[in-house]
Amino acid sequence: MSYIPQIEFFKKRPFGDKLNATFVFIRENSKPFFKAQLLVAGPILLLITIIINQFSFDFMGMGFAEQDFTASDIMRFVKLYGLLVISGIITGAVMPSVIYGYMNKYQTTEPNMITNNDITSGLGSKIFNIIGFNILATIVLALVAFVLSFIIGITANASVFLVVIFVIVTFCLLTYIIVTMSLGPSVIVFEDNNPIDAIGRCFKLIAGKWWSTFGLMVVMAILGAIINQLFGLPRAILFGIKAFTSFEEGGDFSQIVEMTSGEQALNILFSVFETFGTIISNSLLFIALAFQYFNLVERKESRGLMSQIESIDEQQEEEDDEVY
């Protein structure tokens, strides 16, 4: 008898059911799911977390130092910022690839039988496709922002009212595109689609359901921010103690970026802690978007219903064969 997952993916779900399905999926698959996240995506996220923290400390060091910015300071800032952007692009591809790779396997395999090899099979092509999609989405957003900014610049001397209108239109249009493109990783992984076709597919699926997708993202973003704040609390306490100590010793805030060997060890430990928080918060967001994708596909194409009909037909044929 073939394995039947406890959670049906392609199913029409109202807003609350999508949230509930997200937490049920996490609860049912917590051990194998987070194990796969930590072993596959964890090392990359840990490296990115360390880079971000180093970027923050270097930035504060340049800002608090009693000297003007030098050319080397600016170049260091640009290099770190560029590395940060590249890291963000990679994170935005690795996390959904691993999460959706697990969800794909979940449809045919019991959670405790899913291995890392099952998840990483074909992972490379999915990551590169999502990276390509993210780059295309960024280009589209940049072009829209540039064109609308150019229009705002032209109308700046004509009317303040027109400027306000175009600023609002720009914000709304960019938000609409961002929310629509959020379905891209799901389309690429679950439909094995390419980046260009995925863009058109996103606009087709989200038609008439943009607001529910937006609301789902807002709720998960708020929840993710709370989780990240909780996991970032130990580092915030360490930073607060160092800032207070620096102030007490004469207000030399440049000492904040100077860490002892013990503080460096704590910094690495806190980076691991924050990485786990990032995995949890991002997992909630991407899983919720996956259930929104399944919901939209079912509403427009009835894929789950058709699958159930085919399953009933196959079962009936097997029963007929047994009779004869």
Of residues 54 and 21, more confidently modeled: 21
Residue 274's contacts (CB-CB under 8 Å, 6 or more residues apart) are 49, 228, 231, 232, 235
The phi and psi torsions of 104 (rounded to 5 degrees) equal -60, -45
pTM of the entire predicted model: 0.81
pLDDT at residue number 116:
80
pLDDT-based confidence at residue 64 (cuts at 50, 70, 90): very low
CA distance 259 to 60: 13
The phi and psi torsions of 28 (rounded to 5 degrees) equal -70, -35
Reading phi first (left if > 0) and then psi (alpha if -120 to 50, else beta), residue 65 is in beta
> pLDDT tens digit string along 217-262?
999 999 999 998 888 888 777 777 766 676 666 555 555 555 566 6
Q: Where are the domains of the chain?
A: 15-111+123-311
Give the best-scoring range by mean pLDDT among 1-10, 148-157, 187-196. 187-196
pLDDT at residue number 323:
46
Query: Is the distance from CB of 182 to CB of 213 less than 8 angstroms?
Result: yes
Asked if pLDDT for residue 292 goes beyond 80, the answer is: yes
DSSP 70: P
Asked if pLDDT for residue 291 goes beyond 80, the answer is: yes
DSSP conformation letters of 85-134: HHHHHHHHHHHHHHHHHHHHHHTTS-GGG--HHHHHTTHHHHHHHHHHHH
